[in-house]
Amino acid sequence: MTSGLRSEKQEPEPLPEPFKVNCQTEVEVKHGVGLHARPSVTFTRLAKSFPCSIEIAVNGSDVWLNGKSIIKIMGARIRKGSILRIRADGILAEEAIRALKELIERNFDEEKKHGRTT
């Protein structure tokens, strides 16, 4: 005997915008020596604080690197004047892109930390 009620699996509701987004931006690296050790660590730490995937491409390359990998970022040998394309996919992607772009534009806050200008 059945009660007439059927249990149906319901698909989870998609996340509302702006929580799940695919987005991309470009920014020029103006830091005096590019992304050496300290700026690379600062960049990847910030990238890892977001739950989305983050990738970068350098100077128009079609090769996308994991923006959360210190090895990939330092290995790219990103110099002053390089143009970074940053893309993010997933939850809080738009916020991640904005934060990373601002970090680069602020020269990784190194002037504040070390009392010097680049």
pLDDT band of 15, cuts 50, 70, 90: low
What is the reported pTM? 0.78
| 82, 59 contact by CB (below 8 A) | yes
Tens of pLDDT along 54-89? 999 999 999 999 999 999 999 999 999 999 999 999
Measured CA to CA, the distance from residue 25 to residue 94 in angstroms comes to 10
Which pLDDT does position 110 carry in this prediction? 80
Q: Is 82 left (phi over 0), alpha (psi -120 to 50) or beta?
A: beta
Catalytic residue numbers, as ranges = 36
Of 102, 57, 63, 100, the residue nearest 82 (C-alpha): 57
Q: Which residues, in sequence order, are bridge partners of residue 25?
A: 86
Tens of pLDDT along 17-38? 555 678 999 999 998 889 999 9
Selected residue with higher pLDDT from 110 and 56: 56
